[in-house]
Amino acid sequence: TQDDEVGEVELDEEGQPALAAINFPANWYDNYYNGFSNRALWPLFHSIPRYASFADKHWEYYRSVNDAFAMAATELIAPDKPVWIHDYHLLLAARALRKLGHNGPIGLFLHIPFPGPDLFELLPWADQLLDAMLDLDLLGFHTPHDVENFRQTVAALSPALVEENAVVHRGRRVRVAAFPIGAVLEPFQEPVEPEVAEEAIRLLQVIAPSRLILGVDRLDYTKGIPERLEAFGMLLEQYPHWRGQVSLIQISVPSREDVPEYAEQRRRIENIVGHINGEYGEAAWVPVRYLYRSYSPDQLAELYRAADVGYITPLRDGMNLVAKEYVAAQNPDNPGVLVLSKFAGAAAELTDAVLTNPWHPEGGARDLDRALRMSLAERQERHRRLLAVVSRSTATTWAESFLQALLAAR
């Protein structure tokens, strides 16, 4: 196909749910996906403007690709039917759908954080983007904090009227609410097949008998991986009795490798790993095992269960499902400790985790030391409360409550 050719909508009605796809030309990938979505909106919405770059061409593509998705959607659904849009890639889609005559309820769930006005206004197209979002009937975020940021951004940058649970503009009421997403728990709670768990077990044998701190994420600069490594290095420096007694396994799934900031982040991580292992490693003990690859949910479950500490330190995160999966996977009789960044959306719900500040290596080292020394009774008590939270709202209850609110929004 031509670089810009979209072609027909392809429909797969066999699946549950049915799936429709449109061709994603190379130009879209560079300008719309890597460009505007992942180099402008992603860093800015995660409060890391240093990594943001803004280009007119990327914005032009973002607009036209949102139009193309809206066009494809109108081929498949009647104009009065409800539509649920997902995430920052499609913030203009409600406006595009309205232009094409869609008058049914439209909701959007944002899977990443929403910034306050000081950050949002750095975007050269802030007004247009915000205005287009006011064509929604329901806008969902992970946390009340994101809802508040959105309300403040609208109050500062738009003429719309801001109410407690809604924003009103041009006669339309956009309901705004928090819908904290839950994890799919089953794969992390069922006993795993012996052959499936084999690789995880081999990995654990390599580090035995030392205690295990585990980090799992996509390799992304928002996940705070260098900061996590620095805090672990600080633990070994300031609490030397842990040397030889504890190892960190960091599993990073390759992600967005065409975006330069991600390649840079990978080099930075590898550098720090080499530094810590060179500084503290011994013939019989490697402090950090770094794995740049993906694992199946069953293998992850084995690792989560084996970890004394689940160490999750995003600088900013919409929710962070790894934290919830870690809790779900623990053995309630002898659970590990979740050490979680207070800047993950999950921290709003998982208040019984050890909440940590990823920007502060000495604080991180102190939190790790505390987690490693925590008594069985305290671990059990914290885990019992965390598991209650994680079990109460799952991926399914989250979807149901959003859809219910969407239908009620009119």
Based on the shown chain and the rule CB under 6 A, indicate whether residue 295 belongs to the binding site for ligand ADQ: yes
List of residues 6+ apart from 307 with CB closer than 8 A: 212, 213, 214, 249, 326, 336
The one segment of 18-26, 130-138, 265-273, 315-323 that binds ligand ADQ by CB under 6 A: 315-323
Query: Which of 65, 108, 133, 181 is the binder for ligand ADQ (CB under 6 A)?
Result: 181
Phi, psi at residue 69, to the nearest 5°?
-65, -40
CB nearer to ligand ADQ: pick between 308 and 317: 317
In the numeric block, the tokens 């769930």 are attached to 109
Are 175 and 165 contacting, i.e. CB atoms less than 8 angstroms apart?
A: yes
Could you say whether residue 399 binds ligand ADQ (CB under 6 A)? no
3-class DSSP state of 30: helix
Residue nearer to ligand ADQ on the CB measure, 111 or 275: 111
Q: Does 319 help bind ligand ADQ (rule: CB under 6 A)?
A: yes
Rounded Cα distance between 275 and 264, Å, is 17
Q: Does 320 bind ligand ADQ (CB under 6 A)?
A: yes
Q: Which of 137, 146, 308, 317 is catalytic?
A: 317
The alpha carbon torsion through 294, 313, 374, 238 (nearest 10 deg) reads 110
Candidate list 145, 172, 211, 218; residue touching ligand ADQ; CB under 6 A = 218
Judge whether 316 and 114 are in contact, CB under 8 Å.
no
Taking the least distance from each CB to ligand ADQ, the nearer of 139 and 365 is 139
Residue count, binding to ligand ADQ (CB under 6 A): 18
Give DSSP secondary structure letters for 215-268: EEEES-GGG-HHHHHHHHHHHHHH-GGGTTTEEEEEEEE---TTSHHHHHHHHH
The correct pick among 131, 227, 308, 317 for binding ligand ADQ (CB under 6 A) is 317
Helix or strand (DSSP H, E) at 107 = strand 106-109
List 111, 243, 342, 360, residue binding ligand ADQ (CB under 6 A): 111
Q: Does 321 bind ligand ADQ (CB under 6 A)?
A: yes
Q: How far is the CB of 318 from ligand ADQ (least distance, A)?
A: 3
Binding of ligand ADQ at residue 251 (CB under 6 A)? yes
CB nearer to ligand ADQ: pick between 67 and 199: 199
**Side chain identity, residue 269:** I
Give yes or no: 275 in active site: no
253 touches ligand ADQ (CB under 6 A): yes
How far apart, in Å, are the Cα atoms of 394 and each of 207, 213, 388, 391, 397? 33, 26, 11, 6, 5
Question: In the complex, what is the shortest distance from the CB of residue 214 to ligand ADQ, in angstroms, rounded to a whole number?
Answer: 11
Residue appearing with tokens 């309820």:
105
d(CA 139, CA 172): 13
Minimum CB–partner distance for residue 254 and ligand ADQ (Å) = 9
String of contacts with ligand ADQ for each residue 113-142, x by CB under 6 A:
------------------------------
DSSP 16: S
CA atoms within 13 A on the CB side of 135: 21
How far is 339 from 315, CA to CA, in rounded Å? 14
The answer to whether 197 contacts ligand ADQ (rule: CB under 6 A) is no
Q: Which residue, 41 or 322, is less far from ligand ADQ as judged by CB?
A: 322
Active-site annotation holder among 30, 67, 87, 111:
111
Q: Whose CA is closest to 112, among 43, 165, 163, 63? A: 43
Q: Which of 286, 300, 301, 337 binds ligand ADQ (CB under 6 A)?
A: 300
The piece of 96-104, 161-169, 318-326, 331-339 that touches ligand ADQ (CB under 6 A) is 318-326
Whether 383 is catalytic is no
Q: Which residue numbers are catalytic?
A: 111, 317
Residues engaged in binding ligand ADQ (CB under 6 A):
111-112, 181, 216-218, 251, 253, 294-295, 300, 317-322, 325
